[in-house]
A and B are shown apart, each in its own frame.
Chain A
Amino acid sequence: MSAWWLRIVNALFFFALPLTCYAQQPSGKLSVVTSFAKDVTDPVKKAFEAANPAVTLDVQNRNTNAGVKFLEETRSNNQVDLFWASAPDAFEVLKSKSLLQNYKPKATGIPEKIGQFPINDPQGYYFGFAASGYGIMWNERYAKANKLPDPKEWQDLTSPQYFDHVSIAAPSRSGTTHLTIETILQGEGWAKGWATVRRMAGNFREVTERSFGVPEAVNSGQIGYGIVIDFFAFSSQASGFPVKFVYPSVTAIVPANIGIVANAPNKGAAEAFVDFLLSPAGQNLLFDPRIRRLPVNPAAYDKAPAGYPNPFTDPRLNSMVKFDVKKSEARNDAVDTLFDQTITFQLADLKEAAKAINEVEQALAKKSNPQAKALLDEAIAQMTAVPITEEQASSPEISGAFSGGKGKKGARQAELEQQWASFAKEHNAAARAKAAEALKLAK
């Protein structure tokens, strides 16, 4: 016979066990602010709620900017549990404003990086649960009507035949596009990278202010070629649009992230959700043709459909030599603003210069002329010049201009913007002049 107290302890233990299970079982309403489309959230919601019947997932769909602002404004009585979006820049902002909370997910087997790109925030405030690659998407009917060849590399888009046929989202509006540009800059070097970007930009028809604007236009056939994230292309194809996609040899891996909001009302369920996404069940969901993301757990690829890209083994997704995250972050605002001031808001001007250069190139293709070629090279150098050096881009003066505050040395943001815009304008004009000279000789 056990002592009476032992029996009580036993009984308590007996009752407590299910209670503890109950306490750990997530329940109630789980509120998510996300920028992902219904195509993604619906299947995940269904699977998660099936695995956790006591939880209801309430999805609030907002674009990333609106979502960040919303969290900022409602922090005093936060009702949101999770923030679920693509690019890490939004998460960095939230982290810096202490709007996220720390967590250590239970999932195992998830490496620190895919290729050269880190998957998670080192401090554990947000986690990558999927990845995607960037590439080129185009409309077959458009290409056929305009008799254009299929592109393969970023460099292809700089050739004159694609003039006025290409589109991209502004890096300042699309974190994932920003990473792609940064990849080009780090891969080819500052000056050469900007040269590629600017020559490509010369062929742009438009620079959209939201990521989805690019695939949308390609789907309609309004634009021929778009620089897009891969799942846009695949989901378009799944919907029947006549589009094709290619990964260039060197491309960016862009993650999709999730983070738990500080002071989340339903922390337990939030953590369960994160764990679910990183679990094998969650990772497998990513193969759904409506979702079409790349799992971050290498083991998941055992169950992948045939031909599915594997970033851990595919050389195109894995060949980035070295991606310096710190450098990318330090010059984040500078790169965004450079792009906007010299390309996005100067597009008409830039295209004039590009057109002039293209004409010369086409003339020289027919009949070569070394003098003209020399002038052409000068013109190209003018058009692709960058107002600041790489060191300046990361310098405290310049990043200070963007964060602002009293007593900072150096120019204000508005002044920098005006300087860079004028720089571009002047150089475009010079490029046009040189190209005109070259054309005269080439004809």
Chain B
Amino acid sequence: MEALAFGGASGIGLKAVDLQIENVSAAFGDHVVLDGINLLIQPGEFFALLGPSGCGKTTLLRTIAGFATTSRGNVLVGGQNVSALPPWRRDVGMVFQSYALWPHMTVGRNVAFGLEERRLPRAEIKRRVDLALTFVGLNKEIDRYPSQLSGGQQQRVALARTLAVAPKVLLLDEPLSNLDAKLRVRVRRELRALQKSLGLTTIIVTHDQDEANTICDRIAVMNEGRVQQVGTPTELYERPANLFVAQFLGMANVLSGRANGAVFESSVGVTLDRGTAADRAVPVFRPQDATLAPPDDTTERGPSFAGIVDEREFLGSAVRYGVRAASNLLWVEAPFHSGAPLKEVGEAVRVNLCPDRIMWLDH
């Protein structure tokens, strides 16, 4: 079914609104889970909450939905403050990680549930249920029970159930974590296509950076209850705000050492000009921003240091070397074309850094 037909006025009637999170905090006992979160999500945006386990992203999602009773702060959906409203009046649709389909109801009754709660007329309920199930391609399963469906089908039913009530915002809790790798890639593309076509403001919680990078418009990277940085995938990658973001999105090498006036003396033996970097900032570079040269090659003029190849990972389109230098293990990545020679483990090399590609980051 055409997304436009489904989401348009003659279908379910979806609208795009913004979502504002204002100074939201939450704690369990004296364990702080969220600490002063502020976010503004644009209408129609596909937004990710990305972070490791325990960073608070699921709690934040549940706060938006109204399930985190110990939270403070405001949540505004389309300009309306819903913080004081119980979950059943917020009109934000949530698809749970376990799908949470009710085993004692058929697929059709599951999807109809929210509509029945809104006391819509019977004919309208039937229309919407048919629409939703057709949209996800499961209208033939309308009388079967969830236990009779496969995992993927169950997820689609959960989605149909949520979309049928035309929520203002769509919340997805780790939707791809139950799927295998190949399927994950396929499904996330479809998710993005769906979201774009429906134009519904959507927030996804995930710990997988590839997922966030490939399908989202903007990402909020979270750690230890705080938003570390908000930006597009490229912004986060190219200009990480701190060490955590740099290391969470993509790989990042941190040079240990000590600041000394205007320069940074790193333990691998190279001295770097600190420029306008903050006092506590340390130099960080990406694997693809350094090159390897034979040990005695001094053609390059930039900062460089010696090391031994300790590990080698073949990635198909690139080769990644783990170079040991003064008890640091630093990763350098080079593109691979067939026929090109590979360095061996144990080989001595020279690592050349590119000074303008060095990021000075704090914790």
Whether A and B touch (Cβ < 8 Å) is answered with no
Which of B's residues lie within 8 Å of A, judged by CB? none
> Residues of A at under 8 Å CB distance from B?
none
